[in-house]
Chains A and B, each alone.
Chain A
Amino acid sequence: MTVVTHEAGAPSGAAPPSGDPGDAIVTHGLTKRFRGGQVAVDALDLTVPRGSVFGFLGPNGSGKTTTIRMLLGLVAPTAGDYSVLGMPLARALPRVGALVEGPAFYPYLSGEANLLRFDAADPTAAGATARTRVGEALERVGLSAAAGKRFRNYSLGMRQRLAIAAALLGPRELLVLDEPTNGLDPQGTREVRALVKEIAADGTTVFVSSHLLAEVEQMCTHAAIMRTGNLVAQGTIASLNGGLTTRIRVETPDAADAARVLDALGLADVRSAAPEVTAELGGQAPEEINAALVREGVAVRGLAVVRPSLEDVFVGLTGEGFDVDG
């Protein structure tokens, strides 16, 4: 239950001591079993460090939105506990901007009036500065021109942008974004990524859920991977990728020769599948491998260093495919 409490005389929402920032989100055994018996989230132990851009990955129905709803106090956990910004939820939420399961606004109000409405719901937001803050938030997502337009007449991407603007209405210490690039065009997707990076550069922790592995890989410093309500991995992107090795891939009509050369160079795990040959790069320099191939008369059509992607990590961890639609 969320009852907003106000501590009179409290140091007016001062930011916690920056010396020991703690973690933005911590959960212990967080579990949600819906009334039908469906276990949407199963004993989740999540740690989101302050200042990170944290990717929350998982296929459709893996429990990402349910987790976010619990963190925001919308859904009561069946078991386990959690803390957001290390303080009681009612005090933490004004410092949290959230986008949960897509935009939801009043269709007959303008974009600006919609933001004013949600701003009015925040007991810590000052009415006097509301218009300024709404204007800034709209400008930040590039919606200033459409501020006076009714939400009903917004395009899908404009709606998504307005939802992001709503999450940026006040000074935030944590942004929780549930699939923020849903419905955006490639340009909009890039802008959201740039915006997330910019917000993170201000020191705001960003917790972003996605089912797009590539997106998380490009935006995030940390990630957690969900699978049917269970956490299968979490850590920095580098540590998640660390379990897998970088490979070199040679595209050539002379696959057999190329494989021989790579073998001779001492590369491990040479795999030949014409017209491609791949091998673990080890510590070797790709340009020297290329030179060796050319010296031996191998016609090199393409050469690439393949770093392990989160998708490889995911497949490695679960042995299953991922519904990537990127």
Chain B
Amino acid sequence: MSTAETEVDVRRTPGLVPVTETMRTVEREPGAAPAGPPAAAPPPSRPVAAFWRLLGSELGLTFRRPRNQVMLAVLASVPLLIGIGLRIAAGDEAVGGLIGAVAGNSLMLTFVSFSFLVLLLMPVSVAVVGGDSVAGEAGAGTLRYLLAAPAGRTRLLAVKYLNAVLFAYAVTIVVALSALVTGLVLFPVGPVTLLSGSTVSVAEGLLRILVTVGYVGAGMAALAAIAVALSTFTEVSIGAIAATMVLVIVAQVIRAIPQLDFLAPYLLPTWWTRFDAVLRSPIDLAALGQGLLVFGAYIGLFCSIAWARFTGKDITS
């Protein structure tokens, strides 16, 4: 510590403290009381507009983040690769089964792509965004500043989950669009032959793709709820992401064990693959409805867990 004299000096000669140009006093409102708390009052709060603004900020962070853009690009490339592969395989001569179905109709590539991606690659990307949601902010320390702003814990969690849901739907839509475009370029357009053997028009085929996107997106939103809930328990986003993926893989393993068949109806992956109900004639609405109920139950349960944890948590990061 410097000696006492110099402190006395400093205190007596405020000129020693250079006030640089950047430190200039911002103009005060004329008529504002010079003493007492600043008269400038915060503008009236518009909760709804403020909520959308925070959600917009969150979406901006998510979709501008290179890591997430890469994941979307990878997901978009898979239907393309599948399409090219099938085109080459079908090039030789007439083939049956799956290859034949796709080779015969451009819209079928969308359903094939979903069945390839819905069990692993799509869940990974949703787990990354969901698992990072709270844990990432906690790890970086930005969570304390968001909450001191004050973002409000319930409000911030709602924004985080909604953001993860929107990303889940973005993932689903990217896969569907990429598959559609690839299919239209590589394969003939025409009435779609369903699993049951009957055919539907192109327009109806597109409608069924739309239903599939809605259903698969809901399934991914259920996974996002798990990821966000796990994200409130740690300050390490990789931990939350890995834990979510472990749950997905454990569920797949359970599904593969015949003795544990009775558990299958309670597992998310069982219902993710049920989007093929749209390929029945007519659409197997009962199966889709049951799937949506399961997704809803998962969302309700894990959002509650996330809320209970996050609103009662000490933010010490």
Contact = CB atoms under 8 A, between A and B. Distances in A.
Contacts of B315: 69, 74-75
Given A73-B147, A123-B50, A191 B23 contact: yes
A149 to B, nearest CB: 16
Interface in A96-139: 96, 98, 100-102, 104-109, 116-127, 129, 136, 139
A105 B139 CA distance: 11
B17 A117 contact: no
B254 interface: no
Nearest to B51: A123
Contacts of B56: 120
B11 interface: yes
A60 to B, nearest CB: 16
A122 to B, nearest CB: 4
A129 B53 CA distance: 13
A13 B38 CA distance: 12
- Size range of the interface on B? 35 or more
Interface string A127-159: 101000000100111101000000000000000
Interface stretch (B41-49, B91-99, B205-213): B41-49
Interface stretch (B148-156, B167-175, B216-224, B275-283): B148-156
B142 A105 contact: yes
A166 B149 CA distance: 9
Interface stretch (B27-35, B123-131, B195-203, B287-295): B27-35
Contacts of A213: 1
B284 interface: no
Given A13-B42, A15-B39, A104-B142, A194 B17 contact: yes
Contacts of B155: 3-4, 123
Interface in B1-20: 1-2, 4-5, 7-8, 10-11, 17-20
A19 B1 CA distance: 41
A257 interface: no
A142 B24 CA distance: 10
Contacts of B54: 120-121, 123
Contacts of A72: 144, 147-148
B11 A218 contact: yes
B153 A2 contact: yes
B152 A2 contact: yes
Nearest to A187: B18
Given A13-B41, A311-B1, A106 B140 contact: yes
Given A3-B153, A74-B315, A191-B20, A123 B45 contact: yes
Interface in A269-326: 304-307, 309, 311, 324, 326
Contacts of B45: 6, 13, 123-124
B314 interface: yes
B140 A104 contact: yes
Contacts of A104: 140-142, 144-145
Contacts of B41: 12-15, 171
A195 B25 CA distance: 9
Contact of B152 (A4, A76, A191, A217): A4
Nearest to B159: A121
A106 B61 contact: yes
Nearest to A93: B150
A122 B145 contact: no
Contacts of B17: 190, 193-194
Interface stretch (A196-204, A226-234, A258-266): A196-204
Contacts of B19: 191, 194, 198
B150 A127 contact: no
A95 interface: yes
A2 B38 contact: no
B258 interface: no
Interface hub of B33, B40, B50, B153 (most chain A Cβ within 10 A): B50
- Sort A-B residue pairs by CB-CB distance and give the 3 closest, nearest first: A104-B141, A142-B22, A4-B152
30 contacts: A1-B311, A3-B311, A13-B43, A15-B36, A18-B35, A69-B314, A69-B315, A69-B316, A73-B150, A74-B314, A74-B315, A75-B316, A76-B312, A94-B42, A95-B42, A102-B141, A104-B140, A117-B57, A118-B145, A120-B57, A121-B57, A123-B50, A136-B26, A142-B20, A171-B38, A191-B19, A193-B17, A194-B17, A195-B23, A198-B25
